[in-house]
Amino acid sequence: MPQAFVSTDRIRSLFTEAMSQMYRTEVPQYGTLIELVAEVNAACLEKDPELRERLASAGELERIDVERHGAIRLGTAEELFTIRRLFAVMGMQAVGYYDLSVAGVPVHSTCFRPIGEAALNVNPFRVFTSLLRLELIEDEGLRGEAQAILAARRIYTPRAVALIERHEQNGGLTEAEATEFVAEALETFRWHGEATVNAETYKRLHDAHRLIADVVSFKGPHINHLTPRTLDIDAVQARMPERGITPKAVIEGPPRRHCDILLRQTSFKALEEAIVFSGEEGAVRGSHTARFGEIEQRGVALTAKGRMLYDRLLASVRGEVQVGAGGAKAGAYNQELVERFRALPDSWEELRRQDLAFFRYSATPAGIAAAISSTLPRDPEALITRGYLAFAPVVYEDFLPVSAAGIFQSNLGTDQQQNYATRSNRDAFEAALGATVKDELALYAERQAASLDAAMEALGLAGLQLKTVA
């Protein structure tokens, strides 16, 4: 009898656990951060029974403790093409296109993550994956040198590639194959303290942009952070110094709110790590900064209308208040952020009524009982008012380009903003990827519509639609 294949959810969970253990060994402060986040999350759930109930009802409570996102930076189209195939083994697909060159970072990116609600609730592991844009290196000679260096490296083990091919050909992996795949795939993300270039080449790459040196100078795309999800990022930010960790001055994203929206992120500075440069006259020692600790707090996914408002409000603050490293600047920025964001409703009901955010609908036990014994009103708002139809926020599973760029810049050890003449190049990114990235807004809309259809059918009101405020 043929052996049964394990699910992609199972493989993703195995990989997440292995990645977390590896990173805890490589970056001990990550372990400290995990412990702090666990303490804060437990306190939040204890003091807020409504939050606990909402997470439990949505099937999201168990995922909080395992939730992680990682980030890697690739150097070539071939590397991106293969990473798509590698993540497919774990049930992860490319969602969204992010152009970070507009914020002075010479990469464009996507998020590999699970798509379906059930898969997300099992393990919502995500990897923010960036591709270096070599065309943004102005020095033609240096650009050619970087291309040659990247072309010569192989970041995947032969066995990992063979197991990817087996998954593609057979439609799955057995438990033994999955375990071997995880071990082999992990090698791509491991830190290597030996640079593949000499000190002089590293300096020229570094002078062009620190991130260019990070991508080009090493054997592979070491995972540069692994991020746990907290339920109160302000509490974690305030308590990090107690654990000997210095956080960045400003939390990226929206301000603290009663109804969390999108994504808030903070981090500690990248570690300065000893490395060995290659050279004709023996090893030369130096240092490199790349890997850091990050924490995130996730809120509701906003609709296109909500995102337009969010982007406008954020841009208005950043246009007037410089985000610097100093405490005074950080205080002024946070205060202005809170004031400007008063224009975005801070109640679930208003976010829903004004079509600013996505929600998951469900028929309540009272609604189902009423549908059996009587005729329900065909006014959706009346169904909600009477407690027959419930709604809960859909978690934002993706990223924010301005926030990502802010984290990158902070952890490269500089606030310098570099302008690039070339902008978005989604077509080139998708050509390298070998696939079209999925539209995150369309995915959220599909989840909302499917939940509403199921709820209305349970109430015997199939086809009834909600009305929103224009």
- Which DSSP category does 261 fall into? B
The most confident of the ranges 239-253, 295-309, 388-402, 452-466 is 295-309
The predicted pLDDT at position 323 comes to: 54
Residue 418 has pLDDT above 70, yes or no: no
Q: What pLDDT sits at residue 297?
A: 94
Residue 37 tokens read as 């986040």
List all residues 6 or more positions away from 230 whose beta carbon is below 8 Å from its beta carbon.
Answer: 37, 40, 41, 236, 295, 296, 297
CB proximity list for 79: less than 8 A, separation 6 or greater = 131, 155, 221
Tokens standing for residue 237 = 């930010």
Question: With 50 as the cut, is the pLDDT of residue 416 above it?
Answer: no
Question: For residue 59, which of 399, 456, 447 has the smallest C-alpha distance?
Answer: 447
Instruction: Sort strands 126-132 and 68-74 into parallel, antiparallel or unpaired.
Output: parallel
Q: For residue 445, which of 303, 305, 350 has the smallest C-alpha distance?
A: 303
Do 178 and 6 meet the contact criterion of CB atoms below 8 Å apart? yes
Question: Are the CB atoms for 94 and 109 separated by under 8 Å?
Answer: no
CATH ID of 8-232+273-291+397-437, from 3.40.50.20, 3.40.50.10420, 3.40.50.720, 3.10.180.80: 3.10.180.80
Give yes or no for a contact between 22 and 188, defined as CB atoms under 8 angstroms apart. Answer: no
pLDDT at 227 over 80: yes
419 pLDDT higher than 90: no
What pLDDT shows up at residue 108? 92
Angstrom distance (rounded) from CA 295 to CA 274: 25
Average pLDDT over residues 432-458: 95
Task: Mark out the alpha helices in 287-347 (DSSP H runs).
Answer: 304-320, 327-340
Q: What is the pLDDT of residues 63-87, one digit of tens each?
A: 888 888 899 999 999 999 999 999 9
| Average pLDDT estimate for 205-219 | 89
Map out the domains of the chain as residue ranges: 8-232+273-291+397-437, 359-393+439-469
Q: pLDDT by residue (tens digit) across 233-270? A: 999 999 988 888 888 778 888 999 999 999 999 887 76
Cα end-to-end span (Å), the chain: 59
pLDDT at 469 over 60: no
Mean pLDDT of the residues in the chain: 87
CA nearest neighbour of 422 among 96, 205, 137, 204: 137
Q: Position 208: which residue type? A: A
> How much is the average pLDDT of 202-209?
88
pLDDT for res 367: 93
Residue 324: CB partners within 8 Å, gap ≥ 6? 249, 330, 415
- Contacts of residue 226, defined as CB under 8 A and 6 or more positions apart, other chains included, come to 19, 20, 23, 30, 68, 69, 70, 294
- Angle in degrees, 0-180, between the axes of helices 426-433 and 77-88, rounded to the nearest 10: 60
DSSP 112: E
What mean pLDDT do residues 331-341 have?
A: 86
List, in sequence order, every beta strand (DSSP E) within 56-116. Answer: 68-74, 93-99, 107-113
Q: What confidence category does residue 319 fall into, taking pLDDT thresholds of 50, 70 and 90?
A: low
Mean pLDDT to the nearest integer, 364-380: 87
Task: Say which residues have a Cβ less than 8 Å from residue 6's Cβ, sequence separation at least 6.
Answer: 172, 173, 174, 175, 178
What does the pLDDT look like over 4-37, one tens digit per residue?
A: 999 999 999 999 999 999 988 888 888 888 899 9
Q: How many CA atoms lie within 13 A of 401 on its CB side?
A: 20
pLDDT digits (tens, 9 = 90+) for 84-124: 999 999 999 999 999 888 777 888 999 999 999 999 999 99
Instruction: Tell me: pLDDT of 402 over 70.
Output: no
